[in-house]
Amino acid sequence: MQKISDYVLLVLILIAFAANSILNRLALKASDINDLVSIDPSSFTLVRLVSGAIVLVSLLYLSGKRLTKPTEIHYKGAVFLFVYAITFSYAYISLDAAIGALILFGVVQVCIIAIAIFSGKRLKALEWFGCILAISGLLVLTLPHVLATAGEREVVFSSISILLMIVAGVAWGLFTVNGAGSKDSLLDTSSCFLLSVPMMIVVALIAMSTSGLTISLIGFTWAVLSGAVASGLGYALWYKLLPKLSASQASSAQLLVPIIAAVGGFLFLNEQLTLNFIIATILTLGGVLIVIKASTKP
């Protein structure tokens, strides 16, 4: 990267990625006034995926390309995307935006590293140290919630939300690995978004028949912004910029996403930056950074 415009674009993309956590939490956080949410998780996810698909397909056609017959990569990617999106939304019923983003990011990186190990990659001692450091950071962040002695309803929900965000991280890691080496990222991402919509419709129908759906104008707006701007446009810009970045630059840049989410949560959601979160962030992101830097050395 040499142009200042590339740096500006990178910052905007990272803000868009972090905005997914902020928008999701904004939409699902119950109002202090009437204890009601503006939209339920199923509706949020459906609107997010539909609006993201519309933007991506529109950009695809504007670029002079057309949708093609889906391949196995597209079907697998759609399943991974669907699992990520639905668990991501349900996790944010009780998780803070900053905590959710850190868990998601940390698990994604650990998942990608684990897949590489199972595929035959041998890690250096420094890479193993970084992995252990990152995992210890995630434990520092999550164990206080899971091991809480109080049998309160909030504690149970918090533990379930942590588990759901871990599943979301694994799904996104698999989605990333599945799309590695894509020859046409815009086409592939558009296809995955489109194919994920029918699965989400089924889940929304099930939710409607059991607990009902909740959709307000503000909740719908947050979901559209998450899907069309933070997801659809954000991913499109990311894949456009990616060829200009080295693997190390791309991975290192994403370390900023949980930090941006934490700042956004503090500004827009009145979330507190606790000492536990700060320590977990240093351990997790520091560990990932060590792995990235160590893997790029001969």
What is the pLDDT at residue 114?
86
User: Do 110 and 184 touch, CB atoms closer than 8 A?
Assistant: no
- Residue 243 is classified by DSSP as G
Residues 6+ apart with CB under 8 A from 16: 229, 230, 233, 234, 237
Report CA-CA distances (Å) from 291 to 37, 60, 124, 176: 40, 35, 9, 18
- Indicate if the pLDDT at residue 239 is higher than 90: no
Mean pLDDT of 4-29: 89
Lowest mean pLDDT among 1-10, 14-23, 97-106, 189-198: 1-10
What stretches of the chain show up as alpha helix (H) in DSSP?
A: 4-28, 41-62, 72-91, 97-118, 125-146, 153-178, 185-210, 217-224, 234-241, 247-253, 256-268, 275-296
What is the pLDDT at residue 32?
44
Lowest mean pLDDT among 48-57, 136-145, 147-156, 269-278: 147-156
Phi and psi torsions of 124, nearest 5°: -75, 165
pLDDT, one tens digit per residue, over 52-77 is 999 999 999 999 999 999 999 999 99
- CA-CA distance, 109 to 295, in Å (whole number)? 13
The band of 31, judged by pLDDT with boundaries at 50, 70 and 90, is very low
User: Do 219 and 37 touch, CB atoms closer than 8 A?
Assistant: yes
